[in-house]
């Protein structure tokens, strides 16, 4: 495309009025109203309009030149949001929609996109929550029972070690020295017995709460 105002080699968006030319002489025969030509067909088409399709004279001229049979003009009185001179670009941007009616229906949407799998949730959530709390308490009590069992085992081991140490202290060496008084040994043994009784009582309390 080349004219006095625009060249495709310089600017690719050049457009001009579309027309029908005589191939032998190059003379213009008819300028088509509303239609443009340009460097690229798509660019020119988007900037064109449908004015000629609403004009019976334009369609008759095209039929005369082309030798074909064009249909009747479009009815301009037909209600439309687009006027005859509306650019094709605007019509495409609007998705060629005359009127968009928005109707919200969640039931229809669900029926159209109905899932193939179902998940059932328990209705009585309070019972479920209480069961979870009870399970958590049972787990905690079990953990406490294990800890107390380990503590009892450690206390027994300490008891044995203390007895060994007491026996070691009350023994005299060859020279008959380093004798531990009997009262001090009784105090140590009573302390061990008291700790053992407290641990056993705590274990019984945990078992009663667990069951």
What percentage of the chain exceeds 90 in pLDDT?
14
The answer to whether residue 27 sits within a structural domain is yes
pLDDT band at 134 (very low <50, low <70, confident <90, very high): low
Looking at the fold, whether 146 and 188 belong to one and the same domain comes out as yes
Closest CA to 66 of 30, 36, 33, 37: 30
pLDDT at 22 over 80: yes
Looking at the fold, whether 75 and 153 belong to one and the same domain comes out as no
Higher pLDDT, 143 or 99: 99
User: 13 φ, ψ to 5°?
Assistant: -100, 20
pLDDT at 125 over 60: no
The answer to whether residue 195 sits within a structural domain is yes
Looking at the fold, whether 34 and 101 belong to one and the same domain comes out as yes
- Angle, vertex CA 161, rays to CA 160 and CA 163, nearest 5: 65
Last residue of a domain, one of 76, 109, 142: 109
pLDDT at 138 over 50: yes
Distance CA 33, CA 29 (A): 13
Distance CA 46, CA 75 (A): 22
Q: How many domains does the chain have?
A: 2
Query: What was the pLDDT predicted at 161?
Result: 78
Query: What was the pLDDT predicted at 179?
Result: 47
The answer to whether residue 60 sits within a structural domain is yes
The pLDDT tens digits for 71-117 are 788 888 888 889 999 999 999 999 888 888 888 888 887 787 776 66
Last residue of a domain, one of 74, 109, 144: 109
Sign (positive or negative) of CA dihedral 141, 142, 147, 148: positive
Looking at the fold, whether 105 and 19 belong to one and the same domain comes out as yes
Closest CA to 186 of 178, 177, 194: 194
Looking at the fold, whether 88 and 21 belong to one and the same domain comes out as yes
Q: What is the CA radius of gyration of the chain?
A: 51
Higher pLDDT, 6 or 87: 87
Looking at the fold, whether 47 and 88 belong to one and the same domain comes out as yes
The answer to whether residue 3 sits within a structural domain is no
> Beta strand 15-21 with 28-38: parallel, antiparallel or unpaired?
antiparallel
- Which residue range(s) make up the domain with 164? 131-210
DSSP state of 181: P
The answer to whether residue 4 sits within a structural domain is no
Alpha helices in the chain (DSSP H): 41-46, 56-66, 88-93, 106-112, 125-170, 182-210
What percentage of the chain exceeds 70 in pLDDT?
62
Higher pLDDT, 112 or 137: 112
Last residue of a domain, one of 109, 144, 168: 109
Q: Which two tokens stand for residue 12?
A: 């690719």
Looking at the fold, whether 65 and 139 belong to one and the same domain comes out as no
Looking at the fold, whether 29 and 105 belong to one and the same domain comes out as yes
The pLDDT tens digits for 153-201 are 787 777 777 777 766 666 644 445 444 455 555 666 676 677 667 666 6
pLDDT at 45 over 60: yes
Looking at the fold, whether 94 and 142 belong to one and the same domain comes out as no
The answer to whether residue 191 sits within a structural domain is yes
The answer to whether residue 7 sits within a structural domain is no
Looking at the fold, whether 94 and 20 belong to one and the same domain comes out as yes
The answer to whether residue 117 sits within a structural domain is no
Looking at the fold, whether 72 and 149 belong to one and the same domain comes out as no
Query: What was the pLDDT predicted at 88?
Result: 94
Sign (positive or negative) of CA dihedral 91, 97, 100, 105: negative
pLDDT band at 10 (very low <50, low <70, confident <90, very high): confident
Looking at the fold, whether 148 and 79 belong to one and the same domain comes out as no
């Amino acid at each position: 495309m080349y004219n006095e105002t625009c060249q495709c080699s310089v600017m690719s968006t050049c457009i001009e009025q579309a027309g029908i030319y005589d191939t032998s002489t190059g003379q213009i025969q008819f300028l088509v109203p509303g239609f443009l030509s340009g460097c690229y067909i798509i660019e020119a088409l988007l900037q064109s309009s449908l004015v000629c399709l609403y004009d019976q004279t334009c369609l008759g001229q095209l039929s005369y030149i082309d030798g074909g049979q064009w249909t009747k003009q479009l009815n301009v009185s037909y209600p439309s949001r687009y006027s005859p001179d509306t650019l094709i670009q605007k019509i495409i941007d609007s998705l060629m929609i005359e009127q968009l009616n928005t109707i919200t229906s969640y039931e229809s949407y669900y029926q159209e996109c109905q899932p193939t799998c179902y998940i059932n949730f328990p209705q009585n959530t309070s019972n479920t929550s209480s069961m979870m709390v009870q399970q958590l308490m049972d787990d905690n009590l079990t953990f406490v029972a294990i800890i107390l069992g380990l503590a009892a085992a450690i206390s027994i081991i300490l008891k044995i070690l203390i007895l060994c140490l007491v026996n070691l202290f009350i023994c005299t060496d060859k020279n008959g020295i380093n004798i531990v008084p009997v009262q001090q040994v009784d105090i140590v043994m009573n302390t061990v017995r008291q700790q053992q009784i407290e641990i056993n009582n705590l274990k019984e309390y945990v078992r009663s709460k667990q069951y």
